[in-house]
Amino acid sequence: MNVPEKYAGISSLLALWKVPFGPLFVQQYDTISEERLDKGLIVIMPGIEGKGVLNRSVAMGLLDAGVPEAITMHDWTSGKRVGPVNLIRTKRNKAQAQVLVDRIVKYQDEYPGRPVTLIGHSGGGGMTMMTLELLPAGRQIRTAILLAPAVSPGYDFAPIWDKVSHHIHHFYCVTDMFFLGIGTAVFGTMDRRFTVSAGAIGFRHRNDKLIQHPFRMEMFKSWNLAGHFGCTNRAFVRQYLAPLILQAEVESPAVSQIGRKAELSTTPSCSLSSPS
């Protein structure tokens, strides 16, 4: 998409007033098609607010940058506008993570060797980790991107290192103290710790697969104005997130058509699109 970066950045900022209204003012953005599915699958998981302007901004930033994979959104929330409740419903959250695991496995069976990328913002970052924990042995995604995740700094990565073939990228910002400081200290993180989240202060663990990206002043140039929402800005996604996905494609390209199953689902767009 040929959208000027300045327009993308400003329009994302001006759209933040829509966050409390969920999907009411948000157009559909799923790009599920046979051509894109053949190149890979990107699943965006929103924060506790559910489907809305923030995850659409992430998707549009990826499209602006020419990311070729199919892009969809998995709304794991209850759909009710009592956001913090979604942090504490562990049983339901695990069930939703299993739904996504089933979608990933189905996709990988139909499109062998194609890359899968998970992007989770805030509570969606916790859902990304939960999904990786539940992924069956021998299954991998290529890349996970955590945007201000509502997960404890001491989260145990041991169960998920083998579930990611490339990298886990973590974007965090120390000024995110309302949502990921006070908020998760009071209501708890997605892994049920009552503490400041890693999305504010970073993870304590160190591993070659985990790449942490603290907020830097230069990110202002890409319209990331810090805080909890800056990392979802369309211009920032275009400049910082999309290159990570495109670089992963160069370093570990998808298999050729020869390796693909002969029999594909006749309606992949239905089987892979997010539940309403």
Q: Give the chain's mean pLDDT.
A: 88
Question: Average pLDDT, stretch 255-273?
Answer: 37
Confidence of residue 80 (pLDDT cuts 50, 70, 90): low
Confidence of residue 270 (pLDDT cuts 50, 70, 90): very low
Structure tokens at 170: 């973590």
Tens digits of residue pLDDT in 113-160: 999 999 999 999 999 999 999 999 999 999 999 999 999 999 999 999
Domain-located, residue 202 = yes
Q: Name which of 99, 132, 117 is nearest 39 in CA terms.
A: 117
Domain-located, residue 13 = yes
Higher pLDDT, 88 or 36: 36
Domain-located, residue 260 = no
Domain-located, residue 31 = yes
pLDDT at position 276 is: 34
Domain-located, residue 263 = no
The domain spanning residue 119 has which CATH number? Answer: 3.40.50.1820
Confidence of residue 84 (pLDDT cuts 50, 70, 90): confident
Question: Average pLDDT, stretch 96-101?
Answer: 96
Separation of alpha carbons 72 and 272, rounded Å: 8
Domain-located, residue 262 = no
Q: Give me the residues paired with residue 73 across strands.
A: 44
pLDDT at position 266 is: 34
Structure tokens at 69: 């994979």
Count of domains forming the chain? 1
Domain-located, residue 161 = yes
Q: Say yes or no to pLDDT of 257 above 60.
A: no
Domain-located, residue 248 = yes
Domain that holds residue 193: 5-253
Separation of alpha carbons 182 and 207, rounded Å: 28
Task: Please tell me the pTM assigned to this model.
Answer: 0.89
